[in-house]
Structures are given as structure tokens and as C-alpha cells.
Amino acid sequence: MKVVGLLAIGLVLTSLAALGLAQGAWQPASSAPSETAAKETAAMPASKPASPRFSASAHDITPLSKERIEALALKLSKEDADVILAKGTERPFCGNLLDNKKEGVYVCKLCGLPLFSSDSKFNSGTGWPSFFKPFDTAHVGVHVDRSHGMVREEIVCARCNGHLGHVFDDGPEPTGLRFCLNSASLTFFEKGAQLPPEIRPIPTATAYFAGGCFWGVEDRFAQLPGVIDSVSGYMGGSVDNPTYRQVCYGNTGHAETVRIVFDPSRITYAQLLERFFKFHDPTQLNRQGPDIGDQYRSAIFANDEEQLRQAQEFIAAQAKTPRFEKRKIVTVVDTAAKAGKFYEAEEYHQDYHAKNGGHCPMPEE
């Protein structure tokens, strides 16, 4: 395996950061960060399981306990255990998945978490299965590995910490990364195959809210337990694939909108509606504070008839409360089907507050 110097490691880390892959993302269950407030985690008794964590692809990535990992390890062959648990490396050109060209998903052999997809597999010529990006950046953890007199970036499964291989900065575009895998760490499932529960994402629902600048709306929703993913974008207008500049200056009709993917078993649509009305002022017409223009309008794009009914009933009920006694709610409620496609905003708008310092404070209850 190629030895890379410290400079190259720096390049790898820069590329990993661009991908959103955190170094050392995996933590043992006992010290896993909570999805809710850190103080809540600190208050948890040691015996309580880690708070559930979910990736943007809605997979449960809660770190497994030592006991669970030991139980799963019983099914491994000695050869697989040598790689996955003892961080070994299989011999080049010997793995069973090196030449696999079928469409499908490569999952962790120990815990079943999807790790890589066939659409990012390429022939690196190294003798090990190679990919230029993970299935989901939150599924692969990275650690500095100083073994064998080399400095490398080891990659591990984010859920079970099983050893996968290493990542290097000599991969193809668009990432420039080469995730070098041991076949022994992976199980392949061909496209269309019935997937066991541990491989499947959890059931989720989707909601769309527009309430002024999407940076703050996205950031606040992202902080709610049960929200799996929140993405800034544009919706409700007439221009395909709009840019931020077009939406700002071009009468596209689009509203800055946030797409929420949530776990309905942990947070309901009704609760999202309640929070949405706390996150912005639904009485300001075509503006939100200093941000003026119809792209900052207050809008709900209901994803189905049930959401439409709930949104309309929620607003009717809110209108009768003292908060809105003297101020009319101007939130526009429409169906997502009528509003048209949601277009994701440019990458620099995503997770803006997380990337650029500070979260928006949550409103007082």
C-alpha cells in the first residue's frame, strides 16, 4: 500500500472536510454525543444506551455497545475477524469484491451499515476495492493510523468501529479521494435484493417550510430531535434550477425553502408546524425582519393531503390565539405538488451556521 507523507495527509483531511467526513467521527457508545443538548447526555446514567443518532440517509448510526459488537463478531470467520477487529489488511488481488461490477450497495460485514455504493467504485489498479466517496459521509469514520512506520488515514464503520481500510488523496474526480477497502470488511447486496432491517433506513416523512432567510430556518429545524435532515433550497417559483442570485434579483417566484426529513415516530408534523411558527413571524408579508422580497415569504408546502389538512387547521387555530389577535397570519399554504420541484441551494448555503460559527438560538418556549 502506498505510503503518504504528512503533506498528503493534510490534503486528504482537507478533501475529507469538504466531503463532510469528520476525522474520528466514531465514538464509543458510552461517550456518543447526544442529538439533543449535551447537558442531557452528561446527565444520563452510564447504563443508559446512547441517544439515537441518524445520518442524512436516515440510517441509525448510534454507536453499538461493546457487548453488541462482541455478539456480532461471533459470526465472523477468522480471516474476516483478522481484518475487521484486528485491523489487518488482506493480500492485494485476493478479495472477492475487487472485480465486482454489479450495481448495488456494499455494507459493513459486521453490523450491516451501508458504506459504499457501486456508483462510486472504480478500478484503482491497487488490488483492493476502491471507491471515491462513501454511501453517506456520516457512515465512515477516519482516524490517523501510525502503524507499520507509516502515517495513514484509517477508515472505520461509524456504527461498529470495524476496520475497513484507508483513504488516500490520489483518487479520481469529483472528490480526488481513494477509499481503499478490504473485501473482508464488506458484504455486497445487489440492486433490488431484499435488505435485512439493519441495512435499511428508518421510515421518514418530508416537510417543506419557507420563513425568511433559509440559513436560520434550516439551522433551527436541524437542532430538533427527530429531524433527520434539513436542506436549504428554493421552491414555489417558475424557474428551473435557480441560482441564489436569480432568486435574490430575478423575480423567479421561488421562496427560500427548507426541506425537512423527519422521523414521525419521534417528532410529528403538528410539532414541526408549532416550531415553525416559533422560528419566524408569520404575520410579515413578503419579508422577514430586514430581509425583504417575496423570496422571504412565509409559506408551507404540504407534502400530501393530510399535511395540507393539518397545516390549514393549525393556522385556523393559531389565528384565534392572543398572539394573532391583532395581527393577521399571512402564511401561504399550498401543496408541494402545486408548488413544484424543490431545488437544493448551492453548497455554501447548506449548514451555513454550523460551518460559519454559531447556531441560531432557539426561541423561548
Binding Zn ion by CB under 5 A: which of 12, 157, 210, 267? 157
Binding Zn ion by CB under 5 A: which of 95, 114, 134, 162? 162
Q: Which stretch binds Zn ion (CB under 5 A): 82-90, 141-149, 150-158, 177-185?
A: 150-158
The verdict on 159 binding Zn ion (CB under 5 A) reads: yes
Minimum separation from the CB atom of position 181 to Zn ion (A): 13
The verdict on 205 binding Zn ion (CB under 5 A) reads: no
The verdict on 139 binding Zn ion (CB under 5 A) reads: no
For residues 356 and 26, what is the distance between their CA atoms, to the nearest angstrom? Answer: 23
The verdict on 141 binding Zn ion (CB under 5 A) reads: no
Task: Evaluate whether 179 touches 60 at the Cβ level (below 8 Å).
Answer: no
Of 53 and 159, the one with the shorter C-beta distance to Zn ion is 159
Of 64 and 308, the one with the shorter C-beta distance to Zn ion is 64
The verdict on 69 binding Zn ion (CB under 5 A) reads: no
Q: Which stretch binds Zn ion (CB under 5 A): 149-157, 183-191, 231-239, 241-249?
A: 149-157
Minimum separation from the CB atom of position 110 to Zn ion (A): 5
The verdict on 160 binding Zn ion (CB under 5 A) reads: yes
The verdict on 111 binding Zn ion (CB under 5 A) reads: yes
Of 163 and 178, the one with the shorter C-beta distance to Zn ion is 163
Minimum separation from the CB atom of position 84 to Zn ion (A): 8
The verdict on 115 binding Zn ion (CB under 5 A) reads: no
Of 112 and 212, the one with the shorter C-beta distance to Zn ion is 112
Query: Which of 157, 180, 248, 360 is labelled catalytic?
Result: 180
Residue 108 annotated as catalytic: no
Cα 165 off chain centre by: 22
The verdict on 110 binding Zn ion (CB under 5 A) reads: yes
Minimum separation from the CB atom of position 37 to Zn ion (A): 27
C-alpha grid cell for residue 153?
488515514
Binding Zn ion by CB under 5 A: which of 21, 72, 108, 247? 108
**Distances, alpha carbon 14 to alpha carbons 141, 319, 349, in Å:** 15, 50, 19
Residue 213 annotated as catalytic: yes
Of 81 and 111, the one with the shorter C-beta distance to Zn ion is 111
The verdict on 19 binding Zn ion (CB under 5 A) reads: no
Of 63 and 211, the one with the shorter C-beta distance to Zn ion is 63
| Catalytic residue IDs | 180, 213
User: Which residues contact Zn ion by CB under 5 A?
Assistant: 108, 110-111, 113, 157, 159-160, 162
